[in-house]
Amino acid sequence: MKRWIEANSWTLGLAVLLAALLLATKLIQPGFGASGLDSLARAALPFALATVGMAIVVLAGGIDLSIAAMMAVASVTGAVLMQGATDLQSVGIVLGVLLLGLAMGAINGFLIVVSKVPDIVVTLAMLFVWQGVALLILNAPGGAAAPWLRALTTGNFPGLDILPRAIVFLAVVTALIWLPIRRSKLGLRLYAIGSDALAAFRSGVPVGQTRVIAYALCGLFAALGGLSVTMGTGIGEPIPGPYLLASVAAVVLGGVVLGGGRGGLLGPILAVFILRTVRMDLTLLSVDPNVAAIVEGTIMVAVVMFGAVLATRGRKT
Amino acid sequence: MTMTDTPTPLNRLGRLMVDQPLLPLIGLLILLVAILAVLNPGVLSMFWAGNTIKIAIPLAMLAACQTLTMLTGGIDLSVGTAATIAAYLTATLAPMTGVPPAIAIALASAVVIGLVNGFGVAICRVHPLIMTLGTALIATGCLLVYQRYVIATGVLIPDFLIWLGTGRSFGLPNSLVLFIPFAALVIWAQRRSGFGRLLYAIGANEAAARLSGVRVWQVHLTLYTLSSLIAGVTGLLYLGQIKTASLSLALPLDLPSVAAAVIGGTSIFGGRGGFGGTIVGALILTVLTSMLTLMQIPEGGRRILFGLIILAVTALFIRLTERS
């Protein structure tokens, strides 16, 4: 038990911090309850999914700057196709968009492995490419979302008032995709190439293939995130939101080391909710939304700076 | 390892591109102009040339920021924001405070952005890309807050900026008055000054530079501050050219400025390249953009193309200059 606590001290600390923040919210706004939690969870959902995708790539020793642009592509593709589609068709469309996400991520990974250009440059270039694709599909916000899809993340879980559906959705999706991978050989390989690609290669890990899979998973979660944007607003959004910096900040705050190999997914998800709760508290304190954006941006940049200092320290010792 | 001693044509091209990056670039520029002339006969004129140069100059100046930061292996994605903020502040403060104080405040704000970037990159060792992106986000937020307090004051664009931005003398744009000394200074500084040599040294091998006694953090701090200052000056010039103060004035130049530096032969990994190539790169991009507009390719298609160009050129440089 003691060892378990020591190994997960960072995640536990984040959980305590989140609980404290929620308590503070309750103090600021005594009426804060099930509906408040629901709107918090719905606002956090795209950020959380983007962060999960980013965390997987960072664990595998990379970074994906094109994540927000991929989300935009998924969002507009889903919204455009779903306009006027029946429920049955929209199920197919959702699956298609998820496959599209996998494909986009795999293209990113493939280009990195084949061109030998560093991941940061390739995904920067692909950021522009995916942005262009999103604009070609839909020039201005529009399209529609299937009603059942919107119901999936709106409101609270039946029978348990306090639990928002968006959180259930996030937990189920992440567990379904990540847990089998984490337990399998592939999960071990992802961590292996993240902590030392050369050592992994010498131990017989197919480094290139594993890297492509990591980026494909990131693309899959980006597609989920894009769909969740469409679910939340009911339309497709071709201009990427501020998900890139937010996801990197949450990954760092969540205890995943930039450079790879160490950390899990629970920490980053908790970190997303911490950042979102701070934002909500600022709104509840009736701070100007633009000022709130500045405060949030400053927190994120400070977190990333702190993470970079830690990473440099870690490398030296 | 598989390479033989006899140089293949590809190898020779690679050596040519490394030793004389300007020659193939100028060739490409001439080729593009020729294609444009075929597509649309009669477009080439003195007026067209002046116009192209006029449009290319702000791009080339922002690309100077990318060139200098890329020489050390960095990048500065906050230049568009810094330029926009400088332009917006100048236009909105000028009616209240007069032109010189407005410009001073505008450039000071750009310098603050640069100092924050420099602090993050030099002292906290954040990756420049993430750091500059974050500063851009915060700075945009500050601009939005500021904008809510100045709606009533009106906008004034100083006359000399309009003269500089849109005027022509002897058929050539007046912005050359600013650009030629600027370009000469940058090219001189990167080749001959100690600071320029330090940039190349850090980009080629940071550890070696550090061991030779270079205070790397000081160079980074100066570099990012300088980059934002250049961006601020570019913003003033661009304000004179566009003649409106908008909240997203120079943002569309962010990506092309990176593309111009990369096309111009500056390595995104540092240590190689220079501003001469970047100028030609900016001209190539301007001609390419007018070609794409002529062929009625939408904004999305243009972005895809720019992204692919950055990727292809970087991959090509790695392939060509690979020494095994």
Q: What is the predicted pLDDT for the residue at A166?
A: 82
Collapsed DSSP state (helix, strand, coil) of residue B324: coil
The answer to whether the CB atoms of A128 and B134 lie below 8 A apart is: no
Question: Helix, strand, or coil here: B162?
Answer: helix
Give the list of residues 6+ apart from residue A246 with CB closer than 8 angstroms, or none.
Answer: A47, A50, A51, A272, A275, A300
Query: Quick check: B120 contacting A, CB < 8 Å?
Result: yes
Q: What is the pLDDT of residue B1?
A: 42
Per-residue pLDDT at A111: 92
Note the pLDDT tens digit of each residue in A247-302. 888 888 887 877 777 778 888 899 888 888 888 888 888 777 778 888 888 887 88
Sort out which chain A residues have CB atoms less than 8 A from B129's CB and list them.
65, 120, 124
Concatenate the DSSP letters of all residues of chain A into one string: -HHHHHHTHHHHHHHHHHHHHHHHHHHH-TT-SHHHHHHHHHHHHHHHHHHHHHHHHHHTT---TTHHHHHHHHHHHHHHHHTT--HHHHHHHHHHHHHHHHHHHHHHHHHHHHH---HHHHHHHHHHHHHHHHHHH-SSSB----HHHHHHHSSB-TT-TTSBHHHHHHHHHHHHHHHHHHHSHHHHHHHHHHH-HHHHHHTT--HHHHHHHHHHHHHHHHHHHHHHHHHHHSSB--S--THHHHHHHHHHHTTPPTTSS---SHHHHHHHHHHHHHHHHHHHTT--HHHHHHHHHHHHHHHHHHHHHHHHHHHH-
- Are A133 and B308 an interchain contact pair (Cβ–Cβ within 8 Å)? no
Chain length of chain B: 324
The pLDDT mean for chain A works out to: 83
Residue B93 confidence class, pLDDT cut points 50, 70, 90:
confident
Whether B169 shows a pLDDT value over 80: the answer reads no
pLDDT at B2 (0 to 100): 45
Residue A317 has pLDDT above 50, yes or no: no
Q: Do the Cβ atoms of A304 and B268 come within 8 Å? A: no
**CA B220, B222, B227, B231 torsion-angle sign:** positive
**Which segment of A151-160, B151-160, B283-292 scores lowest on mean pLDDT?**
A151-160
* Candidate ranges A90-104, A225-239, B85-99, B295-309; pick with highest mean pLDDT: A90-104
B247 at A interface, C-beta within 8 A: no
Q: Look at residue A52 in the predicted model and tell me its pLDDT.
A: 92
B145: nearest CB among A117, A129, A291? A291
Q: Is the CB of residue B303 less than 8 Å away from at least one CB of chain A?
A: yes
Report percent pLDDT > 70 for chain A: 94
**Percentage of chain A with pLDDT > 90?**
17
Q: Among B85, B116, B124, which would you mutate to test the A interface (most chain A Cβ atoms within 10 Å of its Cβ)?
A: B124
Inter-chain CB proximity A136 and B269 less than 8 Å: no
CA–CA separation, B113 vs B105, rounded Å?
Answer: 13
Report pLDDT for A203. Answer: 85
* pLDDT band for position B194 (cuts 50, 70, 90): confident
Q: How far is A180 from chain B (nearest CA, A)?
A: 32
**Min Cα separation A33/chain B (Å):** 30
Average pLDDT of the segment spanning B156-163: 79
Chain B contact for A116, CB < 8 A?
A: yes
From CA A269, how far away is CA A180, in angstroms rounded? 18
Classify residue B23 as exposed, middle or buried by CB count within 10 Å of its CB (0-12, 13-18, 19+). exposed
At the topology level, CATH places domain B20-321 in ABC transporter involved in vitamin B12 uptake, BtuC (1.10.3470)
Q: CB–CB of B144 and A312 under 8 A? A: no
Does the beta carbon of A306 lie under 8 angstroms from any beta carbon of chain B? yes
> Is the pLDDT assigned to residue B76 strictly greater than 80?
yes
Looking at the predicted structure, is the pLDDT value of residue B322 above 90?
no
pLDDT interval class at A159 (50, 70, 90): low
pLDDT digits (tens, 9 = 90+) for A61-78: 888 889 999 999 999 998
Among B residues 129-148, those touching chain A with beta carbons less than 8 Å apart: 129-131, 133-135, 137-138, 141-142, 144-145, 148
Instruction: Inform me whether the C-beta atom of residue B185 falls under 8 Å from chain A C-beta atoms.
Output: no
ipTM of the modeled complex: 0.79
Give the Cα separation of B163 and B165 in Å (integer). Answer: 6
Of A109, A212, A106, A121, nearest to B314 (Cα)?
A: A121
Greater pLDDT, A59 or B43: A59
Tell me if A228 sits within 8 A of A45, measured CB to CB: yes
Of B311, B314, B323, which to mutate for an interface test with A (greatest number of A Cβ within 10 Å)?
B311
| pLDDT at residue B3, rounded to an integer | 46
The pLDDT value recorded for residue B4 is 47
CA-nearest residue to B144 within chain A is A290
Task: Give yes or no for B318 touching A (CB within 8 A).
Answer: yes
Question: What's the pLDDT band for A105 if we cut at 50, 70, 90?
Answer: very high
What percent of chain B lies above the pLDDT cut of 70? Answer: 91
pLDDT at B42 over 50: yes
Beta bridge partners of B168: B173
pLDDT (0 to 100) of residue A314? 63
- Min Cα distance B255 → chain A (Å) is 8
* CB contact A291 to B (< 8 Å): yes
Residue A65 in contact with partner chain B when CB distance is under 8 A: yes
pLDDT in the model for residue B33:
86
- The one-letter amino acid code at B110 reads A
* Lowest-confidence segment of A155-164, B110-119, B271-280 by average pLDDT: A155-164
- Quickly state the pLDDT bin for B203 (edges 50, 70, 90): confident
- Yes or no: say if A149 and A94 are a contact pair by the CB < 8 Å rule: yes
pLDDT at A212: 93
In Å, how far is A223's CA from the nearest CA of chain B? 19
Quick one: CA dihedral B304, B305, B310, B316, positive or negative? positive
pLDDT computed for residue B174 by the predictor: 81
| C-beta atoms of B125 and A111 within 8 A | no
Find how far residue A58's CA is from the centre of its chain: 12
Q: Which of B130, B134, B302 sits opposite A297 (nearest CB)?
A: B134
B222, burial (CB in 10 Å: exposed 0-12, middle 13-18, buried 19+) = middle
pLDDT at B164 over 80: no
User: Measured between CB atoms, does A293 come within 8 Å of chain B?
Assistant: yes
Q: Nearest residue on chain B to A130, judged by CA atoms?
A: B304
The answer, yes or no, to whether residue A85 has pLDDT greater than 60, is yes
CB A95 within 8 A of CB B260: no
Beta strands of chain B (E only): which ranges?
A: 168-169, 172-173
3-state secondary structure B94-145: HHHHCHHHHHHHHHHHHHHHHHHHHHHHHHCCCCHHHHHHHHHHHHHHHHHH
Q: What is the mean pLDDT of residues B57-86?
A: 89
Read off the pLDDT of each residue in B26-50 and give the average, rounded to a whole number: 82
Query: Cα Rg for chain A, rounded, in angstroms?
Result: 19
Would you kindly state where each structural domain of chain A is located, as residue ranges?
37-241
Across chain B, mean pLDDT equals: 82
Residues of A in contact with B131 (CB under 8 A): 301, 304-305
Average pLDDT over residues B18-26: 73
Instruction: State pLDDT tens for residues A113-144.
Output: 988 887 878 888 898 899 999 988 888 887 77
Minimal CA–CA distance to B251: which of B265, B234, B268? Answer: B234
Contacts of B117 in chain A (CB under 8 A): none
Q: Long-range CB contacts (< 8 A, 24+ apart) of A88-96? A: A90/A146, A90/A148, A90/A149, A93/A146, A94/A149, A94/A227
Count A/B contacts: CB-CB distance under 8 Å: 122
Instruction: Please tell me which residue, A315 or B30, carries the higher pLDDT value.
Output: B30
Residues A22-38, mean pLDDT to the nearest whole number: 80
Q: Is the dihedral of CA B162, B89, B256, B243 positive or negative?
A: negative
Q: What DSSP letter does each residue of B29-65 carry, written as one string?
A: HHHHHHHHHHHSTT--SHHHHHHHHHHHHHHHHHHHH
Buried b (16+ CB within 10 A) or exposed e, A213-245: bbbbbbbbbbbbbbbbbbbbeebbbbebbbbbb
What single-letter amino acid sits at B95?
P
pLDDT in tens, A167-205: 888 888 888 888 888 888 888 888 888 888 888 888 888
Least confident of A302-306, B61-65, B86-90, B284-288: A302-306
CB contact under 8 A, A304 and B126: yes
